[in-house]
Amino acid sequence: MDHATIERHAAPVPRYTSYPTAPHFTRNVDNATYTSWIKALGQGDRLSLYVHIPFCDRLCWFCGCNTKQTLKYAPVKSYMKRVHKEIEMIAAKVKPGALVTAVHLGGGSPTLLEPDDLALLGKNLRAAFEFADDAEISIEIDPSDVTPAKIDGMVAFGMTRASIGVQDFSEKVQEAINRPQSFEITRDVVFALRDAGIKSVNLDVLYGLPFQTTERLMETVDKTLSLRPDRIALFGYAHVPWMKTHQKLIDEAALPDTIERFEHAVMAGDRLAAAGYDRIGFDHFALPSDSMAKAAADGTLRRNFQGYTVDNSDALIGFGGSAIGQTKNGYVQNIVATGQYQAAIDNGELAIAKGFELAEVDRARGWVIEKLMCDFQFDKGELVAKFGDLAGPILDDVGYIAAADVDGFVINDERVFGASEQGKLFVRGIAAQFDTYFGQGSARHSKAV
Ligand SMILES: C[S@@+](CC[C@H](N)C(=O)[O-])C[C@H]1O[C@@H](n2cnc3c(N)ncnc32)[C@H](O)[C@@H]1O
Ligand code: SF4
């Protein structure tokens, strides 16, 4: 692809882990609203639970997550007390008969929890909610935290899927992002998890990092492939120093430019595909035997706050500071500051800071955007069947987008609208054209490539 075309489409756009995206959430949604949404959950509803641990024992300069470094355990311990209380408070509002089909423990670094605290969290979640026998239970893992006792704690939590942060294996890059982590440490953790019976492992790799060259990235990709993970996330580094001030410690002059980022993403993706991985959406890869590859093949892949997922539950309930939840009524986000989150729970209140109540028109556009992000296309007949008259303005947009498409990035026939092979690399930009909130307010996003 020529450089001018890449530059033209590199303008920042959201990653669409929700629609509308989080910067459009407002204070109109509060504890009372969320309480009514939780009480409205049906008896047979499938629930997904997310618990956020906003602590790490190191601070990687590239990090865009809601977390803070702590070298003491006492603040973590007292935070967890509030999480347990929040679990009880919310579970008391959920009707019996709702079934938990997925749990995700994310952060930050959940692996900073002591083994007993991991086990206790798993036990209390099971005491508070009814679990499906085959519930998928995943944990985000910082390999530098892992000890045999921690693995026992994760197994006691009930983990079935592990997600491990790699980023880049080159020392030069690791130094520039303050994240030392040898290949050997990562390899040993992957092997130890498999020995402990964990069948599914995901590794996170980043492109767009400082001092990353083609050679360094390809070496990281090859080392990652040598561990044969079931899934690989290939994320573009989101440089947002206006939101994450520690990213100012990263030398911007050492960051790959837009063209290099694009070429790195394409090369790394091609190498993963050549090694037998299926491409999933715009930033995931999975072995064909993996459930995510199967979901992508049969059109049931979903997208939620954790990114691509096979989780097709009816509601996502978040616990902990900054955690996001989602029911058919809309989205909520907890207070981000851990002190304020804990104070709210101590007062016997939920900790909702903001949210968004969905209108049917948002659901229609959200469906289109999720389909584009997951399947790269949507069926026009299905849109009309699902949303009736609300499909009209969206199909008008399809006409305008197709007419303005000078680069051949979209396909538009009688039946479907979607991204062409070339356009798939810019699917976020195509999705953004259906987003009526995009460009409103002060939200700033990371690069589209
Ligand atoms: C919560 S961390 C994973 C677990 C653990 N804390 C670790 O770092 O190993 C989630 C993942 O988000 C990704 N991530 C973090 N900051 C990012 C950024 N600024 N841009 C893109 N991806 C980022 C990284 O790949 C990271 O592995
Ligand atoms: S990348 Fe992971 S370990 Fe590093 S600061 Fe972010 S959440 Fe913590």
Domain ranges of the chain: 14-319, 360-439
Beta strands in 108-248 (DSSP E): 130-141, 161-167, 200-207, 231-236
Q: How far apart are CA 66 and CA 270, in angstroms?
A: 31
206 lines ligand 2 (CB under 6 A): no
**Residue 144 has what pLDDT?**
97
- Ligand 1 atom 26, closest CA: 165
CA of 28 to the centre of ligand 2 (A): 32
Q: Is the CB of 109 under 6 A from ligand 1?
A: yes
pLDDT at 393: 97
**What is the predicted pLDDT for the residue at 299?**
94
CA of 194 to the centre of ligand 1 (A): 22
Measured at the alpha carbon of residue 220, what is the angle toward residues 429 and 105, in degrees to the nearest 5? 70
CATH code of the domain made up of 14-319: 3.80.30.20
Identify the nearest ligand to the CA of 69 by its number. Answer: 2
Q: Give yes or no for residue 367 CB within 6 A of ligand 1.
A: no
Task: Mark the ranges of the chain whose per-residue pLDDT is less than 50.
Answer: none
Dihedral of the alpha carbons of 32, 34, 40, 44, in degrees to the nearest 10: -150
- pLDDT at residue 444 in the model: 65
User: Rounded to the nearest whole angstrom, what is the distance from the C-alpha of residue 165 to the centroid of ligand 1?
Assistant: 6
User: Which architecture characterizes domain 360-439 according to CATH?
Assistant: Orthogonal Bundle (1.10)
Distance CA 425, CA 409 (A): 9
pLDDT digits (tens, 9 = 90+) for 185-239: 999 999 999 999 999 999 999 999 999 999 999 999 999 999 999 999 999 999 9
pLDDT tens-digit readout, 79-92: 999 999 999 999 99
- 108 CA from centroid of ligand 2 (Å): 5
CA 69 to ligand 2 center in whole angstroms: 9
CB of residue 374 inside a 6 A radius of ligand 1: no
**AA identity, residue 249:** L
